[in-house]
Amino acid sequence: MKKVIALIPCRGNSKGIKNKNLINFFGKPLMYWTIKELRSSKFIDKIFVTSDSQKILNYAKKLKVGIIKRPMKISGDRSSSESALIHALNKINLNSEIIVFPQVTSPLRPKSVFDKAIKFFIKKNYDSLFSSSKVHNFIWKYRKGIFLPNYNYKKRPMRQEINSFYDENGSFYIFKTKKFLKHKNRLFGKIGTYILEKKYSFDIDDKIDLKINKYLKK
């Protein structure tokens, strides 16, 4: 099996919900649920949390995962997760072949999802992969002053007859380490997707999202 590590960027500041990554979610900080699922993996060799927040790093240490202090210059509102991942890889200097990049704002995942997705990623020989959910929606896009639909509005079809779209739900990404460092982007090369049920597709960005996830968890 290829060497696999998980990298979790976890900023201390958040706009929608203050200290979101540590907010209580069924008796545990939100980030606990992602780390719990990662630790159950048979294929992930090491787990690291990278953060500008000492509170987050202290909690990660309690969960016995590796910690990396994220510099403030790459911890602002407009700083990319990619910048944190590149900094972390340079710090730990491990010869990993595959990176699993989960987002703790998606606390609900099916059992053994990381191992199933890693096996799928390797079997299909993808360079990068994103988790998604299938949607059959009436979608319009705005281009050059005109609204364009993804269906024939003059002969409205049944919803299930619309071509499937794949919603990039942000639960997790998987990619090859060396190629990621070359492209400096989470998606590149031969891109694949691992489909999750819709109930696992709701990430937490604001208080409404938190209520939805709590309802689904129950």
147 belongs to a structural domain: no
Q: Give the total number of structural domains in the chain.
A: 1
Give tens-digit pLDDT for 59-112.
Answer: 999 999 999 999 989 988 888 999 999 999 999 978 899 999 999 999 999 999
- pLDDT, residue 1, reads 65
Residue 130 sits at φ, ψ, to 5 deg, of: -125, 150
157 belongs to a structural domain: no
Note down the domain range covering 56: 4-131+170-197
The CATH number given to whatever domain includes residue 72 is 3.90.550.10
**Average pLDDT of the chain to the nearest whole number:** 93
162 belongs to a structural domain: no
How many CA atoms lie less than 13 Å away from 29 in the CB half-sphere?
19
Per-residue pLDDT, averaged over 40-50, amounts to: 97
Residue 85 sits at φ, ψ, to 5 deg, of: -65, -45
Give tens-digit pLDDT for 161-197.
Answer: 777 789 999 999 999 999 999 999 999 999 999 999 9
181 belongs to a structural domain: yes
- pLDDT, residue 94, reads 80
156 belongs to a structural domain: no
Given a cut of 80, whether residue 13 has pLDDT beyond it is no
Phi-psi region of 107 (alpha: psi -120 to 50; beta: other; left: phi over 0): alpha
211 belongs to a structural domain: no
Per-residue pLDDT, averaged over 151-158, amounts to: 86
30 belongs to a structural domain: yes
Given a cut of 90, whether residue 128 has pLDDT beyond it is yes
- pLDDT, residue 28, reads 96
Per-residue pLDDT, averaged over 119-139, amounts to: 94
209 belongs to a structural domain: no
With a pLDDT cut of 90, the percent of the chain lying above it is 76
